[in-house]
Amino acid sequence: MKIKKILVANRGEIALRVLKTAKEMGIKVVTVYAEDDKALPHALFADESYSLGLGALSETYLNKNKLIEIAKKSQVDAIHPGYGFLSENADFARLVESSGFIFIGPTAESIVLMGDKIGSKNALEKIKIPMIPGYHGDDQSVENLAKKSKEIGFPVLIKASAGGGGKGMRIVHKEAELTEAIRGAKSEALKAFSNDKVLIEKYVVNPRHIEVQLMSDTHGNHLHFFERECSIQRRYQKIVEETPAPQMSQELRLKICETAVQISSGINYRGAGTIEFILAPDGHYYFLEMNTRLQVEHPVTEMVTGYDLVKFQIFVAQGDKLSVKQSEIMQKGQAIECRIYAEDPDNDFMPSIGKIEKIGVPTLRDVRLDCGFLDGTEVGVNYDPMLAKLIVWGENREVAISKSIQSLDEVLFLGVKTNRDYLKRILGHKKFIAGQTHTHFIPDNKEDLAPKELAPAEIAAMIAGLCFNEQKPQSFQDKPGSVTNPWLELVGFRNV
Amino acid sequence: MEKKFILNGTDIVVKDFKQSAQSLTFNYEGKTYCFDLVTKEDHVVILDDSQKFKATVGSANKDGESIVMVKGREAKISYAGQRIKKHKTHAGGLTSPMPGKIFKILKELGSEVKKGEPILILEAMKMEHSICSDKDGKVKKISYKVGELVQSGVTLAEVE
């Protein structure tokens, strides 16, 4: 069945991302918006757009029944969940399909399997996927957990089974800290996820976060689109991603990618997915988790492979065979994504809000700004503070870094404090340039990443900018001797 | 003429300040700067000293401060005379750093707190922010209940 109309059950840049590909394919797009989002471009630029009302997320973007109602009313064929929100919600995937729509994503079974950290590890151990040494068992007594920790060997990581975002997580370096850490992790896990089950894993020092983009159809074809390096993180969230991963041998790259495909074929996966791995400095890599959706950082893969992943998602969802062979997929050049957040990195990454007076536009070649805002729109407190993603392609890594730094200068979000300057400091750091990235890069290089003082010439120019801006345009035009604009004098002139 | 500005909270003094509609000259830290205005539109001011460049200037906030960006660097800048003294809450008041929702209250009224100890948690943009005591003392007032929405700058709690 050909998909002719899609409902995008999301907001902001990812809703626009899906919309762009759908338009290219001649597919009609329906979007939804919470009332406080009604001025945002995802609400404005679709073929149809419907209000989800105002209120808590459970009433708006997470309101499954309201979304299905809108899908019925607007007579769409399929629903794309984007990322976040309901994208990894198995109940929603089931509801979409039982209501007669195509879910542009994996089966509910795959979502359930991969959403459970312990369940997924048990399933993957059977198909010999490298797992980080650990204990994922049901005997949750403090005594047993302590015993298992000692068997694994310190340092160990204790984390919530149902967790995410660093909640219920503890690193333990020696036996004396163990009991207290287990108790603390359990109580945090219980509070955050109503489930105090924890798992214990070997803690890898200076690990890298490497993930592999997968795409599978319903005809037994399981492809990978190579890896992404996503080690630069703050508050356990990625802020800089790139591909190919620097400082990685071609041999290791192919091995990791093939391991990822073993997983997608092993669980008979459908659609776009990502396998996240931890890569130890010694070249050993371990399965971390699978994300059963399109990732925020998918554009870097698109930039180096030249394929549109959303297009493949739609083809797969309507039952088509993937039209490319693994051997045809190549990495060309280097792509880097910087996530632009409304936050103050020099003040503990405190989120910021406000009205965006003007958004700067990147001007260099092969630069993409995926942005969910327009000039004059507001950044509020109700949603994630990511404003946009700057994705830059260069023929090699050096060029991609240099173009990214220049482009970050251009993409100002006037009126809202952003991490733009901070991203420039990361990209300009000698260790980043050398490809020496790991997940503690930000805390380990805190001093180097502090803001640099403004040069006197920059301060002088800022003063000049302020002083000239203060003048009203009127006085500027009316002053004797000012140049008059000849075009304004052309009364009765018309275009022919 | 001497003129004062405040840039990111620091006083900046420039000397020999002269401004006309089209040009501006002043001396800052021993160096004389001359800027010609090339054009100006919609927050963007094109300046010319030895080379042309762009300054992007935001609207002034209620304290008279504007964000100015030059060559990718941003700063908050205002005329020293214009800046209105920020409304200070009375001693012991802990204010909300940003609009959000009261997520959790950790201390009861009258309980003892140490400096740096969290009193309540504010939730904004999917993240939690601890509001910590600025001194050792007793919690004298908690202004809101869990779940209430608060504006930026309001007093959330008082310690004495």
Looking at residue B16, which CATH number applies to its domain? 3.30.700.30
When pLDDT is cut at 50, 70 and 90, the band that residue A476 belongs to is very low
Alpha-carbon gap: B32 to the closest alpha carbon of chain A (Å):
9
pLDDT for B82: 57
Indicate whether B53 pLDDT > 90: no
pLDDT for A481: 42
Alpha-carbon gap: A395 to the closest alpha carbon of chain B (Å):
24
pLDDT for A399: 98
Residues of A in contact with B33 (CB under 8 A): 457, 460-461, 464
Tell whether A190 is within 8 A of chain B (Cβ): no
pLDDT for B93: 73
Out of B33, B45, B72, closest to residue A460 by CB: B33
Out of A342, A415, A473, closest to residue B40 by CB: A473
Residues of B in contact with A421 (CB under 8 A): 72-74
User: How high is the mean pLDDT of chain A?
Assistant: 92
Tell whether B28 is within 8 A of chain A (Cβ): yes
In-domain check, residue B87 = no
Window from A267-281, A373-387, B80-94 with minimum mean pLDDT: B80-94
The residue of chain B with its CA nearest to that of A165 is B127
Yes or no, beta carbons of A381 and B53 under 8 Å apart: no
Indicate whether B83 pLDDT > 70: no
Q: What is the pTM of this model?
A: 0.83
Write the ipTM. Answer: 0.76
Same domain (yes/no): B72, B97: no
pLDDT, tens digit (0-9, with 9 covering 90-100), for A148-198: 999 998 999 998 887 666 677 889 999 889 988 998 888 888 888 888 899
Residues of A in contact with B68 (CB under 8 A): 462, 465-466
Same domain (yes/no): B135, B68: no
Q: In chain B, how many domains are there?
A: 2
pLDDT for A164: 65
pLDDT for A105: 98
SS3 track for chain A: CCCCEEEECCCHHHHHHHHHHHHHCCCEEEEEECHHHCCCHHHHCCCEEEECCCCCHHHCCCCHHHHHHHHHHCCCCEEECCCCCCCCCHHHHHHHHHCCCEECCCCHHHHHHHHCHHHHHHHHHHCCCCECCEECCCCCCHHHHHHHHHHHCCCEEEEECCCCCCCCEEEECCHHHHHHHHHHHHHHHHHHHCCCCEEEEECCCCCEEEEEEEEECCCCCEEEEEEEEEEEEECCEEEEEEECCCCCCHHHHHHHHHHHHHHHHHCCCCEEEEEEEEECCCCCEEEEEEECCCCCCHHHHHHHHCCCHHHHHHHHHCCCCCCCCHHHCCCCCEEEEEEEECEEHHHCCEECCEECCEECCCCCCCEEEEECCCCCCEECCCCCCEEEEEEEEECCHHHHHHHHHHHHHHCCEECCCCCHHHHHHHHCCHHHHCCCCCCCHHHHCCCCCCCCCCCHHHHHHHHHHHHHHHCCHHHHHHCCCCCCCHHHHCCCCCCC
Same domain (yes/no): B63, B112: no
Residue finishing a domain among B45, B79, B113: B79
Give the mean model confidence (pLDDT) for residues B2-25: 94
pLDDT for A489: 42
Tell whether A165 is within 8 A of chain B (Cβ): no
pLDDT, tens digit (0-9, with 9 covering 90-100), for B116-148: 888 988 887 767 788 888 889 999 989 898 888
Tell whether B80 is within 8 A of chain A (Cβ): no
Yes or no, beta carbons of A414 and B58 under 8 Å apart: yes
Indicate whether A243 pLDDT > 60: yes
In-domain check, residue B101 = yes
pLDDT for A379: 94
| Percent of the residues in chain A that have a pLDDT greater than 90, as a whole number | 79
Domain hosting residue B100, numbered range: 93-159
Out of A383, A414, A456, closest to residue B28 by CB: A456
Same domain (yes/no): B26, B63: yes
Same domain (yes/no): B26, B75: yes
pLDDT, tens digit (0-9, with 9 covering 90-100), for A291-334: 999 999 999 999 999 999 999 999 999 999 999 999 999 999 99
CATH of the domain at B147: 2.40.50.100
Alpha-carbon gap: A382 to the closest alpha carbon of chain B (Å):
5
A163 vs A95, residue with greater confidence: A95
Give the mean model confidence (pLDDT) for residues A18-33: 98
When pLDDT is cut at 50, 70 and 90, the band that residue B90 belongs to is very low
Same domain (yes/no): B49, B20: yes
Residue finishing a domain among B29, B51, B79: B79
Domains, chain A, ordered by start: 5-104 (3.40.50.20), 133-202 (3.30.1490.20), 208-444 (3.30.470.20)
When pLDDT is cut at 50, 70 and 90, the band that residue A471 belongs to is low
pLDDT, tens digit (0-9, with 9 covering 90-100), for A409-461: 999 999 999 999 999 999 999 999 999 999 999 999 999 999 999 999 999 99
